[in-house]
Structure 1
Amino acid sequence: MSSIAGAFPVLKDVFGFDGFRGRQEEVVARVLDGRSTLAVMPTGAGKSLTYQLPAVMREGTCVVISPLIALMHDQLRSARANGIRAATLTSADADWRETQEAFRAGALDLLYVAPERASQPAFREFLSSAPLSLFAIDEAHCVSEWGHDFRPDYRLLRGMLDAFPQVPRLALTATADKQTRADVMAQLGIPEDGLVLAGFDRPNIRYAIRHRDNPVRQLTSLMAGEPGPGIVYAQTRRKVEELAEKLAAATGRSVRPYHAGLDPEVRAANQAAFVASEEMVIVATVAFGMGIDKPDVRFVAHVGVPKSIEGYYQETGRAGRDGDPSQAVMFWGAGDFATARQRLAEVDEARRNSERARLDALAGLVETAECRRAVLLRHFGEHPPASCGNCDNCLEQPGVTDVTELARKLLSAVYRTGQSFGMGHVQKVLTGNEDERVRQRGHDRLSVFGIVEGDEARLLQPLSRALQARGDLVATEHGGLALGGSARAILKGESSVEIVIPPKRQRGRRSDATPNPVGDPLFEVLRALRKELAEEAQVPPYVIFHDSTLREMAAARPASLGDLGRLPGIGAKKLSAYGERFLEAIARN
């Protein structure tokens, strides 16, 4: 059995790194010792290395269960670029016979399969034909009914795992609260002492949450400060198409749509173009993302609230996987929460309370005047500092005001007008606007007519949004507002209400995410060479080298293969394949 000491030469030779990051070493050591593990590690922390390195060192093949074909093929490219013997066995692979023969011959370090295949008895028999080194279950939160991405086929994996009791299990996820972690470990047969919790913080991501008023203008401003690749999440297919078209026209950038309703060939082409690009923006539904391991996404924007705080964390985590500065921006409206709360009625009763708690946590994140990162990390059970210095609230502390009395006026007006009118009508009643509809309904004779004016009137809309986010105001079937949640407690004076004072409209803030922060012309030369090599090899540029490796090259200006091989991120296979070309470029410049 290999020890962790023997892992360091392999780490350098195959992956080009002198040492491990974060909790990687602990996870790898457990796997090499044959101990089953659940590793919860933030996106970008190098989860794939924790099974790829043992796969190279241990005898037999590591079977990787992964939820999406696109994700498998992306990881396959990266593994092969490092000289790892890897293959996928999916419905999209024409070479499945060759893959099966290679497995039986012991010629594979990694074999990627989907949970639907892995849970079949026939596949279990196939695995018996050659030695196995490890089972790696990627996106392991999909195992749990409590998780936000539950996949029933993941719950059928236990039979396969138990058929090979001597093979260790490594479950990996970036997103799992305490309840989900316990469920994953129970379902996959991982002992209680098998948890490695590496934390959830992504310090390179700058979080910002703003009210949505004009999404095309707001996104155009964001894109003006972010020239690199970006993902925009919208809630419907129609909105995806509309935003992609308008953003392309407004910015002149390459912007493409992605959703399940597109022709499969178009969808695949748009995804491939995005993965290969260094500046494209893709507008998508949440159908897009889990299958993308693109490290150089510079921003993720939400036009509308995601389904849960776990979904938000996972989706924003697609930004900045390479460790460079990135942004996560959400543009939200009160209607988003109204729709989300209506959807709760469709959720299975056993899950409804946990889903409601997740939505309440998301509302708390949206409405907070505190550090966004601290609120996010506390949700996952961490104890972060009070300020991160890299979110909108830390960079520009918002004001908070007590609006309990105004909330009572607003809720009273909603109640007295019959709990069937939208905010526009209620606002007219409160501010004394005698339009025809108000008079027709007799609402100009109510005690709440005209009781709000001046500065209070300007706070009605943000207060309405806050109350809807919290569920104290809920949407009716016909688009009106009704009392919900703690509304009656507020009316009785038993509960107070504070809201964040809306900031003045701002231009998009740059995140200092330029890949060339010191303006070194050699870096641009190396980047152009990387693009050329990527096109020749028909792989995305980041598979050749990350920007961080190019910056190291530009700064160190190595003159020999030995000097180049000492830089981080350059393993033996890549040094052999690309080293001479990069040395020539450096020598010429």
Structure 2
Amino acid sequence: MYKDIDLLERLQHFFGFDRFKGQQEAAIKNVLGGDNTFVLMPTGGGKSLIYQLPALIMEGTAIVISPLIALMKNQVDSIRGMNAEDNVAHFLNSSLSKAAIAQVKEDVLAGKTKLLYVAPESLTKEENIEFLKQIRISFYAIDEAHCISEWGHDFRPEYRRIKPIVEEIGKSPIVALTATATAKVQHDIQKNLGILDAQVFKASFNRENLYYEVRPKVKTVNQIIRFIKQNEGKSGIIYCLSRKKVEELAENLQVNGIKALAYHAGMDANTRSTNQDKFLMEEVDVIVATIAFGMGIDKPDVRFVIHYDIPKSLEGYYQETGRAGRDGGEGKCITFYAYKDIQKLEKFMHGKPVAEQEIGKQLLLDTVSYAETAICRRIILLHYFGEKYEQENCGNCDNCLNPKEQIEAQEEIVIALKAILEVNEKYKGDHIANILIGNKTAAIKSFKHYTLESFGTGADHDERFWNAVFRQSMVAGLINKDIENYGLLKVTPEGHAYLANPVSFMLVRNHDYEEEAESEGGAPSGGSSGDPQLFSMLKDLRKRIAKRHNLPPFVIFQDPSLSDMSIQYPINIEELQNIQGVGQGKARRYGKDFVELIKQYVEDNDIERPEDLVVRTVANKSKMKVFIIQSIDRKISFEDIAESKGIEVSEVISEVEAIVNSGTKLNIDYYINDVLDEDHQEEIFDYFREAKSDSVQEALDELGEDEYSEDDIRLMRVKFFSDMGN
């Protein structure tokens, strides 16, 4: 029936995209063919399009079962934003008044609504079941399908009731979608929904644009404030384990001039909803939330996700970090890790059934393994989801960009295992560390453990080192911790085998991050716009229009669309429809103000509009200059620019000086921040404010050649000219 439809034409018409991502097209054809479909794609992989596009094409109404009211509203706003009519999508849940529910039902019965979002709780209400029996259902889409499984990280019992209710309403094809599922969870979902025959579309879990980094918890709040200030104006989410910490951290950020709000399950529904809306509407930049509470956020331009506390499982971690960079742009995932957090999580397990403790213990061990690993973080993460990452270096995580030092620790592992056995596996790690160091604590004196053979055999290392030995031996499976008995260390069969036949064991040397925490190097930068001034004006306009419509700004146009506008300069609705992510409906609905602003801007600045991509003000410059400007836009280091062109860094600086001197504004802060601290930057900048000439030598004489290099002065002079002159 739908075989002859031009899917690309429909995709362009409804959503403004000119191509499908990954397996989207194949999955959509499967849905249009009336078959059961199972979609396993990471956050940002474009899952929602797989049911949204067929719903808009097919006869009848698609029923979308979604667990979060906030997420439903988000999705409905988004679809309405792409269509000329509001009644194309509705949601049915407890937040609606009786009058609103009546209106929704009227639109659905009249055949105007293509997508109806319902919460699983609403689906079970008798009056809703009777209502849904009256309509033609194109298919059922079950979003966040991992909620069905007890092995999933977000189990919801009401999801178990979906299958019998769907059968009562009337059978239609089922589309199950999730962003995170191990093989066990996947089977559980298909079995419970009765769709073991479903065609499975599984995308790679690798999100290339996400940068992963784990930092030790050293002056964590200071590090977070510094990081946010360096990423000013960008949207971010910070996760904490406790509500108390959420409140404290949000307050801390506010005091430091950061627009941040708290969000956790203990707040009243109204405050929580208001805070979330302020985040979506870009009235605040940062939301601080509890890990336990699902944010339900479909915001594409979250630029960083920070974990103040490490999550309980890698599945949870993957889901939460996956909220960054959903538009394919920059996404920095920074996690703060201290082993005592793991101990805290272990304590929470006491009193739970043994089986649950066992699952929890295994999940925590995987998390520790991820946090402490010296190999590529992507390899560990993808392996967890049953996927093999072929490269050894992803170039986009802290371990690949700054490899940790490894040392041979075969001898130390043997010493540690012998000490555990010598005390008959009846003591915890800190006590055994004190034995090895030769530290006569009160406990060691009372048990006369200073008489042991192991006493003092590890005196050339400190307690921190031995704790790292125990943890990494645990990750390697040589020892385990008996949670039932206060965390006593036990040697596993693998550990006994190791003692009988020791082999090389590379131990990751713990960094001392006190100093290193000051630098934020490593994370790659996100996309850029062609004309920064126009891009900024378009963002302001978007914010005003969003406020007028009471919608989040990204529903109007996403950042990549504004970026494309600032390169292509469209001055009428037809041209606007050629912009990335702008379909016909969107262009007609919101485009008028945008094309008028761009037209005026083009006239005011005497801009020659490009047919393709042009870097503004350098259309007639040499290829080298164009290359450098584009590289700086992408925040590539000067060393990398120099290497790719086979020149010296000082030559790159000369080219940059020439570009800035000709009147082009360049933002090289990202590079300056890597080579000079704030105080030194300020000192040079202030010098040029008062200086009589722009001579580099005079600046060096005044400021001191032992303090600064010639390149430091030249870079700051470029910044000064660009900021003050252009």
Deviates more, 1:194-203 or 1:208-217: 208-217
Q: What is the rounded CA distance, in whole Å, between the counterparts of 2:127 and 2:351 in structure 1?
A: 36
Are 2:396 and 2:524, in contact at CA under 8 Å, matched by a contact in 1?
no
Matches within 5 A, 1:353-502: 355-386=360-391, 387-410=393-416, 413=419, 426-434=432-440, 439=445, 442-454=448-460, 459-467=465-473, 472=479, 474=481, 481-483=488-490, 489=496, 492-493=499-500, 497-502=505-510
Residue 357 (structure 1) shift: 4.2
Which digits, 9 at most, give the CA deviation of each residue in 1:442-490, with x for residues without a partner?
4444433332234576622433443566783537689775436569537
Alignment-derived partner of residue 160 in structure 1: 165
1:307 and 2:312 equivalent?
A: yes
Change over 3 Å in CA distance of 1:50–1:481 after alignment to 2: same
1:578 to 551, 565, 590: 590
Alignment-derived partner of residue 267 in structure 1: 272
Are 2:430 and 2:467, in contact at CA under 8 Å, matched by a contact in 1?
no
Q: What is the rounded CA distance, in whole Å, between the counterparts of 2:461 and 2:326 in structure 1?
A: 44
Over aligned residues, Cα RMSD in angstroms? 2.9
Q: What is the rounded CA distance, in whole Å, between the counterparts of 2:444 and 2:357 in structure 1?
A: 38
User: SS of the counterpart of 1:192?
Assistant: coil
Change over 3 Å in CA distance of 1:434–1:159 after alignment to 2: closer
Alignment-derived partner of residue 328 in structure 2: 323
Alignment-derived partner of residue 560 in structure 1: 572
Change over 3 Å in CA distance of 1:136–1:479 after alignment to 2: same
Q: What is the rounded CA distance, in whole Å, between the counterparts of 1:4 and 1:226 in structure 2?
A: 48
TM-score between both structures, scaled by the size of structure 1: 0.91
User: SS of the counterpart of 2:5?
Assistant: helix
Q: Please tell me the residue identity of whatever aligns with 1:502.
A: N
Deviates more, 1:172-181 or 1:495-504: 495-504
Deviates more, 1:227-236 or 1:163-172: 163-172
Which digits, 9 at most, give the CA deviation of each residue in 1:296-334, with x for residues without a partner?
111112223212121111111011111101111222222
Are 2:417 and 2:499, in contact at CA under 8 Å, matched by a contact in 1?
no
Change over 3 Å in CA distance of 1:578–1:478 after alignment to 2: same
Alignment-derived partner of residue 113 in structure 2: 108
Deviates more, 1:343-352 or 1:542-551: 343-352
Are 1:389 and 1:395, in contact at CA under 8 Å, matched by a contact in 2?
yes
Deviates more, 1:554-563 or 1:278-287: 278-287
Identity across the alignment (%) = 38
The structure whose RCO (Cα within 8 Å, separation 6+) is larger is: 1
Alignment-derived partner of residue 245 in structure 2: 239
Are 2:417 and 2:491, in contact at CA under 8 Å, matched by a contact in 1?
no
Alignment-derived partner of residue 24 in structure 2: 24
User: SS of the counterpart of 1:298?
Assistant: strand
Matches within 5 A, 1:51-130: 51-83=51-83, 85-94=88-97, 95-130=100-135
Q: What is the rounded CA distance, in whole Å, between the counterparts of 1:214 and 1:493 in structure 2?
A: 43
Are 2:280 and 2:552, in contact at CA under 8 Å, matched by a contact in 1?
yes
Q: What is the rounded CA distance, in whole Å, between the counterparts of 1:492 and 1:60 in structure 2?
A: 68
Are 1:256 and 1:283, in contact at CA under 8 Å, matched by a contact in 2?
yes
Are 2:216 and 2:336, in contact at CA under 8 Å, matched by a contact in 1?
yes
Which digits, 9 at most, give the CA deviation of each residue in 1:272-292, with x for residues without a partner?
222222762222112444411
Are 2:309 and 2:341, in contact at CA under 8 Å, matched by a contact in 1?
yes
1:520 to 517, 528, 532: 532
Q: Please tell me the residue identity of whatever aligns with 1:374.
A: I
Q: What is the rounded CA distance, in whole Å, between the counterparts of 1:278 and 1:548 in structure 2?
A: 20
Alignment-derived partner of residue 134 in structure 1: 139
Residue 160 (structure 1) shift: 2.6
Matches within 5 A, 1:203-214: 203-214=208-219
Alignment-derived partner of residue 503 in structure 1: 511
Change over 3 Å in CA distance of 1:4–1:301 after alignment to 2: farther
Change over 3 Å in CA distance of 1:218–1:407 after alignment to 2: farther
User: SS of the counterpart of 2:587?
Assistant: helix
User: SS of the counterpart of 1:301?
Assistant: strand
Are 1:224 and 1:508, in contact at CA under 8 Å, matched by a contact in 2?
no
Change over 3 Å in CA distance of 1:346–1:178 after alignment to 2: farther
Change over 3 Å in CA distance of 1:558–1:221 after alignment to 2: same
Are 2:434 and 2:463, in contact at CA under 8 Å, matched by a contact in 1?
no
Change over 3 Å in CA distance of 1:487–1:504 after alignment to 2: same
Q: What is the rounded CA distance, in whole Å, between the counterparts of 1:416 and 1:219 in structure 2?
A: 44
Change over 3 Å in CA distance of 1:89–1:265 after alignment to 2: same
2:541 to 512, 521, 529: 529
Q: What is the rounded CA distance, in whole Å, between the counterparts of 1:437 and 1:187 in structure 2?
A: 54
Q: Please tell me the residue identity of whatever aligns with 2:12.
A: K
Residue 428 (structure 1) shift: 4.1
Change over 3 Å in CA distance of 1:429–1:269 after alignment to 2: same
Are 2:428 and 2:489, in contact at CA under 8 Å, matched by a contact in 1?
no
Q: What is the rounded CA distance, in whole Å, between the counterparts of 1:486 and 1:522 in structure 2?
A: 65
Q: What is the rounded CA distance, in whole Å, between the counterparts of 2:292 and 2:464 in structure 1?
A: 38
Are 1:4 and 1:28, in contact at CA under 8 Å, matched by a contact in 2?
no
Are 2:38 and 2:198, in contact at CA under 8 Å, matched by a contact in 1?
no
1:539 to 518, 537, 551: 551
Deviates more, 1:302-311 or 1:320-329: 302-311
Rg bigger for which structure?
2
Q: What is the rounded CA distance, in whole Å, between the counterparts of 2:428 and 2:191 in structure 1?
A: 47
User: SS of the counterpart of 1:112?
Assistant: strand
Q: What is the rounded CA distance, in whole Å, between the counterparts of 1:274 and 1:71 in structure 2?
A: 14
